Amino acid sequence: MKVAIIGGGLAGSLLAVYMARRNYEVHIFEKRPDSRKVGYEGGRSINLALSHRGIRALEDLGVADEILPLAIRMRGRMIHDLQGRQTFLPYGKDENEYINSISRGGLNEALMNIAERYPKVKFYFECPCLDIDFEQNIVYFKDFNFQADVIFATDGAGSIVRQKMVERGFCKDNTDFLAHGYKELEIPARSNGEFLLDKHSLHIWARDSFMLIALPNLNGSFTVTLFLQNEGEESFATLNTPYKARQFFQKYFPDALALMPDFEVDFFRNPVGLLGTLKSYPWKAHKTLLLGDAAHAIVPFYGQGMNASFEDCYLLDKLIDEYNQEWEQIFEVYQKQRKKDTDAIADLALENFIEMRDKVNDEDFQRMRKLEYFLENNYPDYHSKYSMVTFHPEIPYSVAQKLGNKQNEYLLELCQKYQDIHEISLQEAYDSLKNLQKQVLT
Ligand code: FAD
């Protein structure tokens, strides 16, 4: 069995391990040079949040123990208000529910190293795929062609394979760009290597229509990301001089600015990235399948793009056994089962943008999170929407979305009614939530 994987990014490298475990011959074709030799080019975020859906795949492959030490645990959101006050909102019900900040380059390289331990795995770098003959399973490159038995396209949101599928009528796609872009900055470590902010939090400076976040890195620094409108009065377009950029940060993020000695340099060196939601379907053309961002790129506000891509690989692997390597049938079943869930996480990610940038400051919302925290601690079978998405891979994204939104509607109403959540009967709230669950799941 000769497998071609187009794109050796996060999904491609993980999929290579899955395929190699089956003793297949695995050929991964990557457009970029080998980052282990020339350094990681980046281009997307420097670090990202790895959570249970991604970890489930790593555990399934027996490599979680090797990967997780590369990450820093983030136990909740640290909300920074305009006065510099910090409020901690835990993500989960206890110390065991956290997300993990991990370097994109470090994770990608670790997965490539793990894949290469299998003798039949070969990476080809600086080898961009140019085209595919979907009927014959032939992949075209500049100087050679490759005949495969089955082809996986994990070549990211701008997938050339998807473009060719669309051109030939196998697939339809649509990308909705957000009016916001993002720019990465840095809070360095103190000279003795210490973190300048709490290292076990995802820091958020939410300012209604825009926000700043910071995720910790192993070397004591934080990667800071500004999400801001591309155009308009306060936007990337108008922050066009060092003075204006500094004034803007001084006004909205003074405590963060004080921790960024190279602010102006970073601000004008680092590009503004685009953010969009890509939906496509069908994902299969004969024995070629789109996976990961190539099939469903989402905005980063739930920290789920990579996790969903890893889940793609996990779910596909289960179907290979179930349908005994009948590839066209496997791909058909896979795409039918998976589409509703990737659509759901795409919508959840957009909804979470609103939650992160303006609801976290809202008092009713903060009370609702506190109430949920009590509920989750007193009733182990109650899970908040965030918890379902992030910590419970056994709950499909589409169920988490439907049930989570209903739960939030109910709880928010309750918190608007009671200013002190201790006046709320937890048992009554729990019983009502259980009823909601029954309604949604039947
Ligand atoms: P990519 O990582 O984009 O990899 C595609 C690979 O294909 C690349 O190596 C590329 O060089 C290669 N390639 C492209 N074209 C070709 C070609 N023609 N031939 C050969 N190779 C090719 N997700 C999370 O889960 N948690 C987070 O916290 C998170 N934060 C994010 C923050 C930001 C700012 C952004 C933009 C995204 C974030 N994501 C996050 C999403 C995550 O980055 C993606 O979902 C993930 O990278 C998808 O992996 P992939 O392998 O499908 O695509």
Q: What is the model's pLDDT at position 282?
A: 98
Percent of the chain with pLDDT over 70: 98
CB 154 within 8 A of CB 288: no
Q: What is the model's pLDDT at position 357?
A: 72
User: SS3 of 303, please?
Assistant: coil
Q: Kindly report the CATH class assigned to 177-274.
A: alpha beta
Q: How many A from CA of 366 to the centre of ligand 1?
A: 32
Residues of the chain with CATH 3.30.9.30: 177-274
Residues 205-255 have pLDDT tens digits of: 999 889 999 999 999 999 999 999 999 999 999 999 999 999 999 999 999
Residues of the chain with CATH 3.50.50.60: 2-71+103-175+276-353
Verify whether ligand 1 is closer than 6 Å to residue 312 (CB atom): no
DSSP code for 190: P
Q: What is the model's pLDDT at position 46?
A: 86
Q: What is the model's pLDDT at position 369?
A: 85
Verify whether ligand 1 is closer than 6 Å to residue 303 (CB atom): yes
Q: What is the model's pLDDT at position 366?
A: 82
Verify whether ligand 1 is closer than 6 Å to residue 154 (CB atom): yes
H-type alpha helices, 270-326: 293-296, 305-322
Residues 272-307 have pLDDT tens digits of: 999 999 999 999 999 999 999 999 999 999 999 999
Q: What is the model's pLDDT at position 94?
A: 83
Please, what sign has the CA dihedral across residues 188, 194, 196, 201? positive
Q: What is the model's pLDDT at position 442?
A: 85
Position 389 pLDDT exceeds 80: yes
Which residue has a Cα nearest atom 27 of ligand 1? 303
ipTM greater than cut 0.95: yes
Q: How many A from CA of 391 to the centre of ligand 1?
A: 22
Rounded distance between C-alpha atoms, residue 373 and residue 88, angstroms: 12
Beta bridge partners of 28: 5, 123
Verify whether ligand 1 is closer than 6 Å to residue 129 (CB atom): yes
The residue whose CB lies within 8 Å of the most ligand 1 atoms, and thus the one to mutate among 13, 28, 44, 291, is 44
CA angle (164, 169, 173) in 5-degree steps? 70
Verify whether ligand 1 is closer than 6 Å to residue 4 (CB atom): no
Verify whether ligand 1 is closer than 6 Å to residue 7 (CB atom): yes
Q: What is the model's pLDDT at position 321?
A: 92
Position 325 pLDDT exceeds 90: no
Verify whether ligand 1 is closer than 6 Å to residue 32 (CB atom): yes
Beta bridge partners of 145: 140
Beta strands in 230-361 (DSSP E): 273-281, 284-285, 288-290
Q: What is the model's pLDDT at position 239?
A: 98
Binning pLDDT at 50, 70 and 90, where does residue 36 land? very high
Verify whether ligand 1 is closer than 6 Å to residue 181 (CB atom): no
The residue whose CB lies within 8 Å of the most ligand 1 atoms, and thus the one to mutate among 104, 123, 306, is 306
Does the domain at residues 2-71+103-175+276-353 carry the CATH identifier 3.50.50.60? yes
Q: What is the model's pLDDT at position 45?
A: 66
